[in-house]
Structure 1
């Protein structure tokens, strides 16, 4: 009896061992493994990959309709940078029923054979190509945010807060997941574009908390609208400082806000003052913006850290009230040493630029600017002999202009008169010497 049982055990183990060895030496997919309704059973790895490619590759060429209040664009998955990881799917199919010990594998294979094992498409995407392909749709559907703004009312004293409006743009992360899930099923394909909110630079709550309720100071200068290049330069520079918020303790640099005044930034050639001469230069007119800002800032009781005068008087502002700038060399710097935030608004009209400082005036006095004339500096005339002229004839070749020296005062004026005053600057404008051609030799 014992001999019989021993023999039976040997036969059983031998047969099981043979089956075990055979199963583990197999290199094809076991029966019952599918991708969707596509059978992968009894296929070796290369054959699995080929069958998957034949089945899934057409999906990459199917049009995908992108919708946002109607169809806004159509692209294929291939154009979007999508593909399938065929090797990963083949390996997944080959591993089916081949993990764990022998008994677990046998149980898994019986279950797979009876119920089936369905693997899912493994989708890949090139994110850079994905976003590049969607750029036209982004441009078509994106809504830019609008920050909270203050509108200056016609009385030029009161302001009205206009609430902010959030923007929207395509949510690439969510959209990539949606398209990935689409490709795991059969066409046709359509997807609603998901959007994410773009927050404005200044939202309504932040604007309210700034406490800006009125125009605390303003200054206006005028220009000729006929010089279109100069007007364009003024507009560009004004846009750079418009809606700039200056918090308590912050310093404004005009050069930092406007950047280099270069043709590639849109600036054009217009007259500028260089070394006492009015000559053509790129960015001519920008100094009128800095000058207007300077005067408004002084009237708003902001502190001037840096200001430079022109070498010649300016036609658009009085002596001592100009502020020239030259990128990376001469700057206008304004420090908000008050206890409240201020906002700068720059408005360019047909023939004027106006800078308004918005905030909340908390003093019982106002600022005034007074210019004291200290000295007139006579010019020097140079005579040049011109044989083409008649004796005694004189022709002015270059007009002369006297120089001036002025002292500029900042006065604090209350209901009862001047409370105090301080010197803003003492400025000297050198004379422009003249040249006259004469019809006889000049006397020694």
Structure 2
């Protein structure tokens, strides 16, 4: 269950209670849906992703209370002026009542946070929690104003002093973001060493679960507990099958491919970063490799830099430029090793570093390269860099005893279009090509395997590469294109 769905279920469960305590509860339907988006706040060649904080503009992370170790130092708990000011402001906007009429909130005090990294305590309001004591008409208006300001009815307590518990999701989001920054750790995958003589064990990762942590907070509030736990999920490393390899030694190269890359500093950096993420990966028989899973998002937060990328038929600057050369080189190596290609896409334009039909564009998380080990023995991928050469080789302990050929031929050349612009400021009889056009292509692709004197043929889907428009600027007296010469 996502946090969005979790908040939605809370809203549904509280609908009846809201009708009784809030005269304008129906207005909640018009507010933005509440949700978390824990995507990194970065931009990459593979799409933009930004975390979304809903409503409550004055309750942002800048207003968070201190998250220090348990102490009694003055100032550890900041006052709650931001919360009350929000409600007071809405009070002035919607009635003649003063801000004091919305001062019926109970102090829930501090919560001790069960955090594996350090001892922390948060004031309840800095977690986004407010409790309204009593059930008077005045209190009902306060609840309604808080709801209009972005809060949700989080829980209710009965007894001699009933309380309505409100939650500002933006505050809780900020708390989760802070906890995730301290706790989240990516898994380190198990892989073979560079010399292919030993296995380097993987290390499990971990991440904060917003949904379960929110539920822990709710239970603590309802039960009156003074602490709650940050729920942490384990991220197992993909290394369990390394325990089943027995005497396997990857000493036989079964196929490979290499490409050249430019000496551009940023592109070289990106190529090395992506290559290091997949070097040494291990596939048991029947297992699949996902490039996006292993390499991850090509983002600034993960160390990638701006370099040229192909986007919508144009060469532009983008984060992670060079990562597609790594995926393309691996794809070509897999083709020539006889491995099964499960998922692969071509670029919109031909790439300078690899023949048409052999490239493999990747875009996190939508466009992936997936390869399956269709042999009855394990395989290991090595991705090496020697000067400006990128090398991808697959190894096993069993000779392939076959020859693999990849055939790619042009089935159709797609003419480019011309855009003609007349410029009256040009001298007479002037024709200028301001952007040179290039034809597109439709490529037939197939793989032939020769084994024991027999030939097997595998046809792949065709690739289509776009043509590139040619731009021509002419003076007013020029006829373009020129008429054909008479014989």
Task: Give the TM bin, normalised by the shorter chain.
Answer: 0.5 to 0.7
Distance across 2 between alignment mates of 1:241 and 1:408: 26
Structure 2 counterpart of 1:351:
388
Structure 2 counterpart of 1:335:
372
Structure 1 counterpart of 2:255:
217
Please show how residues 116-135 of structure 1 align to structure 2 within 5 Å. none
Please show how residues 228-247 of structure 1 align to structure 2 within 5 Å. 228-247=265-284
1:147/1:314 Cα in 2 relative to 1: closer, same or farther (>3 Å)? Answer: closer
Structure 2 counterpart of 1:326:
363
Structure 2 counterpart of 1:424:
460
1:426/1:361 Cα in 2 relative to 1: closer, same or farther (>3 Å)? Answer: farther
1:396 aligned to which of 433, 456, 467 = 433
Structure 2 counterpart of 1:285:
322
Q: 1:163–1:203: 8 Å Cα contact kept in structure 2?
A: no
Distance across 2 between alignment mates of 1:241 and 1:294: 13
Alignment TM-score, normalising by the size of structure 2: 0.50
Distance across 2 between alignment mates of 1:295 and 1:368: 11
Structure 1 counterpart of 2:287:
250
Deviations 1:9-60 (A, max 9, x none): xxxxxxxxxxxxxxxxxxxxxxxxxxxxxxxxxxxxxxxxxxxxxxxxxxxx
Distance across 2 between alignment mates of 1:422 and 1:318: 19
Deviation at 1:306, TM superposition (A): 0.6
- RMSD (Å), alpha carbons: 3.3
Structure 1 counterpart of 2:403:
366
Larger radius of gyration: 1
1:434 aligns with 2:470: yes
Distance across 1 between alignment mates of 2:117 and 2:421: 73
Q: 2:312–2:348: 8 Å Cα contact kept in structure 1?
A: yes
Deviations 1:295-327 (A, max 9, x none): 111112111111000000000000111000000
Distance across 1 between alignment mates of 2:189 and 2:455: 43
- 3-state SS of 1:409 partner: strand
Distance across 2 between alignment mates of 1:340 and 1:421: 22
Distance across 1 between alignment mates of 2:315 and 2:415: 20
1:443/1:334 Cα in 2 relative to 1: closer, same or farther (>3 Å)? Answer: same
Deviation at 1:372, TM superposition (A): 1.6
1:130/1:282 Cα in 2 relative to 1: closer, same or farther (>3 Å)? Answer: closer
Q: 2:429–2:478: 8 Å Cα contact kept in structure 1?
A: no
- 3-state SS of 1:161 partner: coil
- 3-state SS of 1:304 partner: strand
1:330/1:146 Cα in 2 relative to 1: closer, same or farther (>3 Å)? Answer: closer
1:313/1:148 Cα in 2 relative to 1: closer, same or farther (>3 Å)? Answer: closer
1:311 aligns with 2:331: no
Q: 1:309–1:323: 8 Å Cα contact kept in structure 2?
A: yes
Distance across 2 between alignment mates of 1:250 and 1:315: 32
1:219/1:233 Cα in 2 relative to 1: closer, same or farther (>3 Å)? Answer: same
Deviation at 1:377, TM superposition (A): 1.4
Distance across 2 between alignment mates of 1:130 and 1:427: 54
Structure 1 counterpart of 2:337:
300
Distance across 2 between alignment mates of 1:368 and 1:333: 20
Deviations 1:401-423 (A, max 9, x none): 0111111111112475x712111
Q: 2:403–2:450: 8 Å Cα contact kept in structure 1?
A: yes
Distance across 2 between alignment mates of 1:258 and 1:319: 24
Distance across 2 between alignment mates of 1:307 and 1:373: 19
Unaligned residue ranges in structure 1 (runs of 5+): 1-126, 132-144, 153-159, 168-200
Deviation at 1:376, TM superposition (A): 1.2
1:261 aligned to which of 298, 318, 324 = 298
Deviations 1:85-117 (A, max 9, x none): xxxxxxxxxxxxxxxxxxxxxxxxxxxxxxxxx
Distance across 2 between alignment mates of 1:398 and 1:278: 13
Deviation at 1:248, TM superposition (A): 1.1
- 3-state SS of 1:209 partner: coil
1:422/1:387 Cα in 2 relative to 1: closer, same or farther (>3 Å)? Answer: same
Alignment TM-score, normalising by the size of structure 1: 0.54
Unaligned residue ranges in structure 2 (runs of 5+): 1-114, 120-187, 204-238, 481-487
Q: 1:272–1:279: 8 Å Cα contact kept in structure 2?
A: yes
1:275 aligned to which of 307, 312, 315 = 312
